[in-house]
Each structure stands twice: as structure tokens, then as C-alpha cells.
Amino acid sequence: MAKSKEEQIFVQLNDEIIELTGKEKEAFLTDRAETQINLDAQLAKEEANKELKKSAYTKLGLTEEEINAIL
């Protein structure tokens, strides 16, 4: 399989645009990957909380329509 072209990363400092290479590029990509992991975790937590609420409301005897209106 052909290797995909390596992603170029450009960042802007005021009006100057700089290409990141080497360790700086690695650090940027690592930072961004960590941010994405945190975002995914937040969304998963958000979804889990919603499911938990849904389950609790179901136990309380609310209909699906009523639960959807609340959630």
C-alpha cells in the first residue's frame, strides 16, 4: 500500500505563517491528539449521563415521549 503524503502543519504567529517540523510538529500533533481524546471523553460522558437520566425516568414510569421532551 502506498504511504499517504505526510501531513504538513502550518501555524500562524500574528501575520506570519510558519511550517512546524521535527519536535515542534510532534508536540503540536500530540497536544491536538490529547485534546481530541478529552473531547471524545466529554462527549461520551455527556451521552452516558443522558442514558442514566433516561433510565431513571423510565423507572419513574415516564413514557418515552415524556422522557424525550425532558431530555
Partner 1 sequence: MATTTNYSWTTPDDTALVKDGASAIRALGTAIDTSMNTALGTKKAGMVLVSSTTIGSAVSSVAVTGAFSTTYDNYKIVITGGTSSANVDMSMKLGATAAGYYQQVIRAAYTTSVTGVAISNGAAWTYSGVNNGASNAFFLEIYAPFLSQITRINGAYVDSGTAGILSGYLNNTTSYTDFTLTPASGTLTGGRIDVYGYNK
If the CB atoms of residues 46 and 61 are measured against partner 1, the closer one turns out to be 46
Question: Looking at the DSSP assignment, which residues form a beta bridge with residue 18?
Answer: 11
13 binds partner 1 (CB under 8 A): yes
Residue 34's φ and ψ, nearest 5 degrees, are -65, -40
Q: Using the structure block, give the residue that is written with the C-alpha cell 521535527.
A: 22
65 binds partner 1 (CB under 8 A): no
Write down the least CB distance from residue 30 to partner 1, Å.
11
Please give the Cα distance from 25 to 36 (Å, whole number): 16
CA dihedral 19, 22, 25, 31 (to 10 degrees): -160
48 binds partner 1 (CB under 8 A): no
Residues that bind partner 1 (CB under 8 A): 9-15, 17, 20, 28, 31-32, 34-36, 38-39, 42-43, 46, 49-50, 69-71
